Structure 1
Amino acid sequence: MYANLRVTRNTNSISVKQMCNLLGLKTKAAYYKKEMGNVNFTLIEAKKISDFFNMPIEEIFFKQICS
């Protein structure tokens, strides 16, 4: 699961539909599969998300959330 991505998306009040539009996905289910880690994001998708949130890819996809 990409917990940082989910937290970032929710913190910025970005809907799953908006993420689908950003990535060119046809269904919310397709996006959820990626956010949950069942399907990998492509590097191009990761770059689009990184640019959208103005954050490094590493911070969104690789850093652990500290509890």
Structure 2
Amino acid sequence: MQQRTWLINIRTQAEMTQEEVANLVGIKRPYYSQIESGTRRPSVQVAKKISQVMGFDWALFFESDCSDSPQKSCTA
């Protein structure tokens, strides 16, 4: 997976640290760091919480996966 630079940009524009986001979401900072770095994919529940904290559409976490894998459906 690729680094999620869009997520890093949103967080830095919000002037939040990884620790702050992780605490508000209810996850540990290393897990959040792995989400940003692209080494882990968040669950839908965690994606929704992160998006609520930072104010964006949670589906952004999964859009690139849909375009990379034509057999996966992009609809819920």
Q: Which amino acid aligns with 1:43?
A: V
Structure with larger RCO (C-alpha < 8 A, sep 6+): 1
In the TM superposition, what are the counterparts of 1:26-41 in structure 2 within 5 Å?
A: 26=28, 28-41=29-42
Match of 1:10 among 9, 12, 33: 12
- Residue from 19, 22, 37 that aligns with 2:21: 19
* Structure 2 portions without partners, runs of 5+: 65-76
The answer as to whether partners of 2:25 and 2:53 remain within 8 angstroms in 1 is no
Give the share of equivalent positions with the same residue, in percent: 25
Q: Deviations over 1:9-38 (max 9, x none)?
A: 001101111111123223x32221121111
Bigger CA radius of gyration? 2
Whole-angstrom CA distance in 2 between matches of 1:55 and 1:29: 22
Structure 1 gaps of 5+ residues are none
CA distance in 1, matches of 2:8, 2:22: 14
- Number of matched pairs: 61
Q: What TM-score do the two structures reach when normalised by structure 2?
A: 0.65
* Aligned partner letter, 1:54: G
Q: TM-score, normalised by structure 1?
A: 0.72
